[in-house]
Chains A and B, each alone.
Chain A
Amino acid sequence: MSSFSQTNMPQQTGKPFIASLFIGLKQLKHLHISTFFIALLFATPLLSIAVEALAPNSETFAHIKQTVLADYIVNTCILALGVSALVICIGVPLAWLIAVCDFRFKRFFQWALVLPLAMPAYIVAYTYTDLLDYAGPIQVALRDWFGWQSASDYYFFDIRSLTGAIIVLALVLYPYVYLMVRAGFLEQQANLTHVARTLGYSPLRSFFKISIPVARNAIIASTALVLMESIADFATVKYFAVSTLTTAVYDTWLSYYDLAAAAKLSLIMVLGIFVLLYLERIQNGQKQTHNDAKLSAQKLTYQLTKKQSILAIGYCCLILTISFIIPLYILSDYAIDYFSQAWNADLFEITLNSLIIAGLSAAIAIVAALTLNFSLRVKPIKLHKTSLKLASSGYAIPGTVMAIGVLIPLAFLDNQINALADSLSLSPPGLVLSGSFIAIVLAHSIRFIAIANKGIEASYAKISPSLDMVAKSMGQPNRKVFSKVHLPLIRKSVLVAGLLIFVESMKELPAALLLRPFDFQTLPTHVFQYASTEQLEIAALGAIIIVIVGLVPLIIINRSIEQH
């Protein structure tokens, strides 16, 4: 136990923060124990849900299976595949344009295209519903123009549909693909494309035959993140009245009062995702698509002609406008009109709450991810590999289910602490863990640690093992190898992962909604409480703050990728 606490507490000042966190890793044994405990901590929600699922079978599950489950599964598959396909269609061409082509305003688009990531999907859903529904400006204008009287006179795209949900989710999630695939393209050797060109392939065909297959890992990794995110989404599909497996989980739990059946459904979802990722790995077993990036620092560059530039700029503008500018415009419009109603001193405190939660979640997730990855590096045994996998499981769990998964063990722990206090005839302290914002922080870091694990794993893979051997042969202990060799080399991806988790955590609603202490608001809960009563105009200011707070980290992330 003591080693576990030590590794998580900075003990010496004057050392780099993260390095000092690892001061406890004096011996491999401690590292071993820390890894085990961290993996355990991060897998707790999944484990508690698994324990819940063990409860005896009720008829609820059978009933749902008989009636609506098939529809839910079909909807979930269509949603997940639709969003994945769409983010690839949007993100990969953008990544290629920015990484490889030269055209005017490229430098602007290069960072601007990341911004939609700061938009919570449910807020984009609200704004587009406002814009596109019957009373929205577009339909009103169309009716005025064509003289239509009512909704039955014409067909108009219904945003509150499965298609609408796919589009909205893709619009806010494509930056994952854009960022990761762009980095992949930047690392790619220009020579591969040059050879393909001399072998008779046009730039476009080389793109499909060479650039895309070689960037396959980045495409798959980023799409997997998007896939998990879209499967776990609840707010957007709920608002659009699309029933998915997440809906089923909530239904069984909240309407049928059957947490066990809900836990079973969640487990099925998580297992499904694991199987998917595993199949991909097997299929990819033999091929090795990353190659030594060190040899060729050369970058592929296509100077676009005027015509091509216009097309490229047009495409970038289109995506940026519909994914970011329009929602932001609608929000700003409301925020300005309703400023006096929306602004109050609380909003400052609420923002501060969100910042603290997001910052702590990111820090905890990063420290944990570093420990897990480092132990796997030092000792690539099965236990560490499994630890890493297990600790990444949170991403696929829908937010509210995650919240329950965190609540169960924390409340249990709280009860033990209070019972202890009682037995020592102290006054019981109450629910210090489950009833405080610690629970929210924990839920967020567990849910998003997968982002850090993926990024750090990938950048560890790029560090030659000989560096470790060299450092070790010079008599450096493991913790020195970590702080002097690894950390400087993976610094960038640690930063990127930390910032991404920060941004995600700023947007995350369900855990805060369920786990917050008394009179405690975060920006998303604040936005949600108004938006859910059809008062988007008052929610808009809070939504804009979420977006603005997210912009700064995103711009830093973008910059660090460009300097690759």
Chain B
Amino acid sequence: MKLFSFILLTILSLPSFAKDDTVNIYSFRQAFLIEPILQQFTEQTGIKTKVVFAEKGLIERIKREGRYSPADVVLTSNFSKLLQLTDENLTQAFNDAAVNANIPAHFRDDNGHWVALTKRIRNIYAAKDRVAAPFELNYEDLAQAKFKGKICTRSGKHPYNLGLVASMIAHHGQAETKAWLLAVKNNLARKPQGNDRAQVKAISEGLCDVSLGNSYYFGKMLTDPAQKAWADAVHIVYPNQQNRGAHVNVSGAAIAKHAPNKQNAIKLIAFLASEQAQQAYSLLNFEYPVNPQVKPAPMVASWGEFKEDTLPLTQVAKNRPAALKLIDEVKFDL
């Protein structure tokens, strides 16, 4: 029993996670993608950042860690994760004047639980030499018979595709969306696999003619010497420009319900919403800023002006479960 008490005492005397000069980040995004921006934050404020990245199971971890979780800020790569966090009661409201000034209200939670930080478009990538009138494409067109065996995409259940399908349901209803999904599935050149870049690579290799992919990957590929050739083979297409506009998703941030360093967390989010960070997001990660004062970086701007789908993100989130079921029903990934 002596030993047990000793261990217990040692544990109890360990330093706590609550410290004045740090902020703990749970991130769904690769740590090295946000590293440069976090560095700027530390330089400016003197607050150190600690990151744990995981794509899978991070929400479960926060949930199980409960009130002693060290998490201050949660960074997500899509809207549905933000919503899941708030739905599961893992976040807390915050209200910061700087954040409110920098981010338009429709990119913030009504109850102040989350903010969006960047916008990304679900683009169609089209082979430069094989697709006629690429810039007139709609998502709906992917169901056309002319694309038989010519479409590549990642798993239908990936959050990015789920968001798109959910928006289709919001616009067209379940039955029509199911028919569309089935037709797209039948047009696939290969089973859904890989990530968004791999689809562009496949187009450059002639395996398929069109693919779905987020906008920032285009910039990533163009600046990677090994991948530039892939991007050079395709047009980045903003779909549905003649009608409702291209589907938009957001990355965002929330403050964990039991954040030990809430003030630092707010400082970090305020920084991420500031012009400096928003510019960096656009410049380094090729995303669209949500801060209206910040113009997209030159490379991002060079892909052209486009029309966004104004469907509220909450509508997309609402249809997400239905989208997931449809994808299994048509066995999209099998």
Contact = CB atoms under 8 A, between A and B. Distances in A.
A508 interface: no
A2 interface: yes
Interface in B51-66: 51-58, 60-61, 64-66
Interface in A168-183: none
A60 to B, nearest CB: 9
Contacts of B56: 250, 254, 400, 510, 513-514
A2 B193 contact: no
B50 interface: yes
Nearest to B68: A418
Contact of B328 (A67, A404, A432, A520): A67
A243 B227 CA distance: 28
Contacts of B57: 253-254, 400, 403-404, 407, 514
Interface stretch (B6-14, B111-119, B168-176): B6-14
Contacts of A300: none
Contacts of B162: 255
A407 B50 contact: no
Interface residues of A, number: 70
A63 interface: yes
Contacts of A280: none
A32 B334 CA distance: 50
B14 A518 contact: no
A517 interface: yes
A427 B334 contact: no
B68 A414 contact: yes
A318 interface: no
Given A241-B194, A407-B61, A429-B14, A257 B206 contact: no
Interface residues of B, number: 66
Interface stretch (A38-46, A191-199, A530-538): A530-538
Interface in B40-96: 50-58, 60-61, 64-70, 84
Given A241-B192, A427-B16, A417 B70 contact: no
Given A67-B328, A251-B157, A417 B30 contact: no
A152 B4 CA distance: 68
B227 A534 contact: yes
A543 to B, nearest CB: 17
Interface string B291-334: 00000000000000000000000000000010011001101011
A563 to B, nearest CB: 40
A429 B13 contact: yes
Contact of B206 (A6, A151, A529): A151
A513 B201 CA distance: 27
Given A255-B162, A430-B17, A519-B50, A134 B207 contact: yes
Contacts of B97: none
A115 B22 CA distance: 44
Contacts of A420: 8, 12
A1 B55 CA distance: 38
B275 to A, nearest CB: 28
A255 B326 CA distance: 13
Contacts of B244: none
A275 interface: no
Contacts of B58: 514
A434 interface: yes
Given A404-B60, A520-B52, A151 B195 contact: no
B64 A411 contact: yes
Nearest to A411: B64
Contact of B3 (A9, A160, A251): A9
27 contacts: A2-B1, A150-B205, A151-B205, A160-B193, A241-B193, A243-B333, A251-B157, A256-B324, A257-B84, A404-B60, A414-B68, A415-B66, A417-B11, A418-B68, A420-B8, A421-B12, A424-B12, A429-B11, A430-B14, A431-B68, A514-B54, A518-B50, A519-B31, A529-B53, A533-B30, A534-B194, A534-B201
Interface of A: 1-2, 5-6, 9, 63-64, 67-68, 71, 133-135, 149-152, 158, 160-161, 239-241, 243, 250-251, 253-257, 259, 400, 403-404, 407-408, 411-412, 414-415, 417-418, 420-421, 424, 426-432, 434-435, 510, 513-520, 529, 532-535, 537
Given A254-B57, A256-B321, 20 more contacts: A2-B1, A63-B328, A64-B328, A68-B328, A68-B334, A134-B206, A149-B206, A253-B60, A255-B324, A256-B324, A415-B66, A415-B67, A417-B11, A427-B18, A429-B13, A434-B61, A519-B31, A520-B52, A533-B30, A534-B195
